[in-house]
Structures are given as C-alpha cells and as structure tokens.
A = this chain, B = another copy of it.
Amino acid sequence: MSGISLDFGNGGVEMQSFLQTFLPKFYRGEKWGNFENDAATFPIHDGKTLCFTTDSFVVDPILFPGGNIGDLAFAGTVNDLVVMGADPIGLSCALILEEGLDEKILEEVLKSLANLSDKFQIPIVTGDTKVMEKGSIDGIVINTSGIGIAEKILDDSIEVGDKILISGGIGEHGVALLSKRFDFQTEVVSDSKPLVSEMKEIRSLIKWAKDPTRGGVAASLNEAAVEKNLELEIWDQVLPIQKAVRIAGDLLGIDILTLANEGKILCIVKAGKSEAVLEKLKKYNSMAAIIGEVKKEKINGQVILKTVLGARIMSMPSGKIVPRIC
C-alpha cells in the first residue's frame, strides 16, 4: 500500500527506519543529549540534568481492564523520565476530543489523571484541549510531555556478565487490551503504573533501565543491544509470565515478548548487585526476575533467546504487532 502504514507507529523496525530518515536532519543544539533515549537531557545547575520527554496515547479501547487512557498517559510519560534516573517535576496534558464524546468517559479519564498526579505528587502544570469533528478522530487522544531533574543520568558502561532483570510479569497490558478488543474472557488486567518508587529504590544500584512499552521486551532489548553493541542472552525458562497471559498469547498466536508493558522496568545490573536489586523489586512485584545476561560485545548487537530446545535470535519486532496498544 502507498502512504504511511500502521507499522510506522508500532515501535518496530519500520518506525526506527522512518525516524532515522528524518531525525539526523534536525538541528540539535549544543547542550542537549540522549536524543534516542526515553528522555532528552539538558545540563542545568550543580551537575544536575533536566530530562524532557513526550508521548501521545491513542489506545483503543479508551477504557480497558485495569485502567484507561488517562492512567496510561500519566504512567507512560512518568516512566520515560524515571528510567533515565530522573525525578519527574511536572507534566503537560493535551487532550484531543471527538465531538460528541460522552462526558462521563472524559470525566473518568480526567479523574485517573488527577488521582495519579495526587498520589505521586507530580503536578500536571500546563494543558491544551482541542475538539475535532465527529469522525475526524476516534474518541480521545492524549499527549503528555514531562520534565524531570536527575542528580545522575543512568548510563554506566555495561560489561559482559552484567545481569538483565525485569520487575514483574511480561505482556499484561497487551493481553488486557486485546481481551477487550477481541472480546475474550481473561483475568489479566493492564499493569499500567508509574514506576516512581521502584526506580527510586534501585537507581543507585543499576546501570541502565527501560520501560518496555510498544514492541515489548523484544524491542527494548534489541534497541539496547544495537545501541551498545552487545549480545544479550535471555533465558526463556525463567521469563515471568502469568499463566493467563501465556494462554492468551497462544490463543492469539502473538509473541508475548512483543506485547506492551506499561508498568515494568527492564534493567541491566552488575552481576554482584543483581540479587540486591531483585530483592528490592520483589517488594513491589513477586514476579520480578533475573532473566538473562550480557553475553559478549558484538557490533550492531543482537538478542539471543535460550530455550530448552536451543537458542534463537529474538528479533526486533516488525509489522502490525498490535496497533494502538498505548
């Protein structure tokens, strides 16, 4: 087909190549860094660093098991800041609404935003509201951008032998959303959650962190492997996956490692500190696990999934993984 395809928006290879086409042409200034990261960084006073990030949320359906688009919009942007090592100081919230949208839905979404803002003491400080004619936009779209301040950006150099951890079960948001969209019964609910407390506890102990949203664990690990020229090995047998998530994945024929998570931290930790980090993460989620390790240096990187049957490459997801998952 001609024109922009859905694949562009999935966090997979198509989006990567689309971004590569345009991004290098943009003026970058001298002070900013971390353009390819979850949040861009700008040095401020006393050695501190300002972090800045943006995300639009187009999730379908707007309300899903375990949350709504407002929960996602708050958690998604906060998480992009905290995985960099920053303390979020404020968010923006821009609403785009479809004419005729049920005010009850809007109220529920705004209530989620207000509750999370209150709970995590991160204010929403600036906003914008646009309305488009009926049929020009599907329901509600939210953009949240966020600012954080970091004492220290997480970017310690990763070494062979470092361990890879995840802070809980994989694929829960993806399955919760698909269950609503395809109308099948499951007990799985979205894991959408601001990871402020978890990251505060572990950030001094870890080298790198990422929230594996669009494209899931597979995309996040591949990005890290490519960027840092590493071969990462993941152990299939220890991956924390709820039974109901596994069943739903089989039912739908979808690789759980490519499904979005909206409240999980993927992190890389010095081997000697991995048990300490695991212990801290388990306080929040008993499914937290050490799932692999940094195997060797490798130009352009790769991710290997070791299973009982042998090893295979865990590729960067491509194609229509799941559109409008967040």
Contacts and interface: CB of A to CB of B under 8 A. Distances in A.
A23 B52 CA distance: 23
Contact of A123 (B27, B50, B131): B27
B92 A145 contact: yes
SS of A interface (majority): mixed
A39 B126 contact: yes
Contact of A9 (B121, B129, B138): B129
A102 B3 contact: yes
A123 B52 CA distance: 12
Given A117-B27, A126-B52, A138-B136, A45 B46 contact: yes
B4 A90 contact: no
Contacts of A137: 58, 136-138, 141
A94 interface: yes
Identical copies of this chain, number: 2
Contacts of A9: 97, 129-132
A43 to B, nearest CB: 11
Interface string A100-129: 111100100010011001100111111111
Interface of A: 1-10, 15, 18-19, 22-23, 25-29, 31-32, 35, 39-40, 42, 44-46, 50, 52-56, 58, 60, 89-90, 92-103, 106, 110, 113-114, 117-118, 121-133, 135-138, 141, 143, 145, 147, 323-324
